[in-house]
Amino acid sequence: MARTATSPASFGVALGPASKQQSPDEVRAAWAEAFRRVRAETEARAAPLSPEDQQIQSMADASPAKWHRAHVTWFFEQFLLRPHDPGYKIFDERFPFLFNSYYVAAGPRQARPQRGMITRPNAADVTAYRAHVDEAVVRLIESVPAGDAARVFSILEIGLHHEQQHQELLLTDILHAFAQNPTDPVYDAQWRLPPLSQAQGFAEVTSGIEPVGHEGHGFCFDNELPRHDELIAKLRIARGLVTNGEWLEFIDAGGYATPSLWLSDGWAAVEAEGWEAPGHWRREESGWTQMTLAGRRTVDPQGPVLHVSYYEADAFARFAGKHLPSEAEWEVAARAGLIDDAFGIAWQWTRSAYLSYPGYRAAEGALGEYNGKFMVSQMVLRGSSVATPMGHERVSYRNFFYPPARWQFSGVRLAEFD
């Protein structure tokens, strides 16, 4: 599913000077450190949550924090330990059913919308499960025969990137749950969005045939390959992200009540869901507030709009007389350094359907289900968000969600054409 085993560098673990050949023991130590760091980040993100917080599933698309902590652990057990550690003793034979997500080849599983029904194992049991697997993985890293090391480290690397993806979901899912709570719970009182760059205007992208997709030797998911050429038409792409202030103009102009601005499916969603503002917004007598990880806050007109669906992003672009960039246009502009706030604030919807690149092949076996089978009916988002773990982002990274989804930190960057 990924390219060949690379290095733990993307997890912030240095392997030493590139010129120096690493000893096998140094490589093992670096992977063990990368594993510990990623696992610790998950627990740090779960730490502010009580066992009750960890249990809740506020909608079918979201999962309990406890489930995330267990599922990423099952991933290592299923794909790393069981095939590659002959001495591994499974922690609990019932857990694979509970914590398999969507891997049909890995066996039957609890239905996704019913993940929140599982009160046992409890949060402490999941902590014990994590400790059991942590110990086994570190032992495997330290003892795997040299001939198997490349394969083991390759699967380990996928597992770490996978866990990072769930670290982001853990936050967006608990934010959605807290947003349903009339008492406006605070996840972290110190939580803040990074400031926007204040970039104004549009940058010109010249027409041409441009390479798109992952290059180089670092890790990527299979959906970022093969690197290939795309024909880019001349466009101008916004240097910055759409702000809440701009979105308030859309609201005040009746954007949510004007069917001509919306795709047919989008308008159906507006009517069915009663949308009148981005996700987690609420109209108060004093104005709009939005639920954040620091609790409920007044909407900041200077801040980036967050928690909008593809349908809303598309309608806003039409309202503004603009377009959304395609994912290829976004990548070309980002590689050229033409856009600000590409990473670390809000995923940016593109007008590109999530499809395979020319010549794409999913990996063999169960891990081939990771990305490829979702390549229909979803739209691509580019960049990364405030909830994306450090080191997880890439210019070729392709995130994807269904068009109505808006519980992620999803925002908007505009483009315009002649």
Sign of CA dihedral 309, 312, 314, 320: negative
**Which is nearer to Fe ion, 292 or 384 (by Cβ)?**
384
Closest CA to 101 of 127, 121, 72: 72
Q: Which residues contact 327 (CB under 8 A, 6 or more apart)?
A: 212, 350, 352, 380, 382, 398
Nearest distance from C-beta of residue 397 to Fe ion, angstroms: 16
From 100-108, 188-196, 244-252, 281-289, give the range in contact with Fe ion by CB under 5 A: 100-108
DSSP state of 351: E
Nearest distance from C-beta of residue 99 to Fe ion, angstroms: 9
**Which is nearer to Fe ion, 101 or 385 (by Cβ)?**
101
> β-strand 295-298 against 235-238: which pairing, if any?
unpaired
**Which is nearer to Fe ion, 79 or 178 (by Cβ)?**
79
**Which is nearer to Fe ion, 75 or 319 (by Cβ)?**
75
From 94-102, 152-160, 306-314, 330-338, give the range in contact with Fe ion by CB under 5 A: 94-102
Nearest distance from C-beta of residue 42 to Fe ion, angstroms: 12
Query: Is residue 212 within 8 Å of residue 332, measured between CB atoms?
Result: yes
Q: What's the one-letter identity of residue 61?
A: D
Q: Which residues contact 48 (CB under 8 A, 6 or more apart)?
A: 187, 188
Using CB under 5 A as the binding rule, whether residue 101 contacts Fe ion is answered as yes
Using CB under 5 A as the binding rule, whether residue 371 contacts Fe ion is answered as no
Closest CA to 64 of 130, 126, 15, 10: 126
From 20-28, 97-105, 361-369, 383-391, give the range in contact with Fe ion by CB under 5 A: 97-105
**Which is nearer to Fe ion, 101 or 384 (by Cβ)?**
101
**Which is nearer to Fe ion, 53 or 163 (by Cβ)?**
163
Nearest distance from C-beta of residue 347 to Fe ion, angstroms: 18
**Which is nearer to Fe ion, 247 or 397 (by Cβ)?**
397
Read out DSSP for 87-145?
Answer: T---S-TTHHHHH--S-GGG-----GGGGGG---S-HHHHHHHHHHHHHHHHHHHHHS-
From 98-106, 129-137, 210-218, 295-303, give the range in contact with Fe ion by CB under 5 A: 98-106
From 101-109, 121-129, 204-212, 313-321, give the range in contact with Fe ion by CB under 5 A: 101-109
Kindly write out the interface string for residues 272-311 of this chain, putting x where it contacts Fe ion by CB under 5 A and - elsewhere.
Answer: ----------------------------------------
- Give the separation between CA 381 and CA 310, rounded to whole angstroms: 9
**Which is nearer to Fe ion, 167 or 352 (by Cβ)?**
167
**Which is nearer to Fe ion, 163 or 331 (by Cβ)?**
163
- Give the separation between CA 103 and CA 86, rounded to whole angstroms: 22
- Give the separation between CA 302 and CA 241, rounded to whole angstroms: 10
Query: CB nearest Fe ion: which residue?
Result: 101
Place of tokens 């980036």: 304
Using CB under 5 A as the binding rule, whether residue 223 contacts Fe ion is answered as no
Binding residues for Fe ion, rule CB under 5 A, total 1
Query: Is residue 378 within 8 Å of residue 402, measured between CB atoms?
Result: yes
From 99-107, 184-192, 201-209, 284-292, give the range in contact with Fe ion by CB under 5 A: 99-107
CA–centroid distance for 332 within its chain: 21
Q: What's the one-letter identity of residue 180?
A: Q
List residues near Fe ion by CB under 5 A: 101
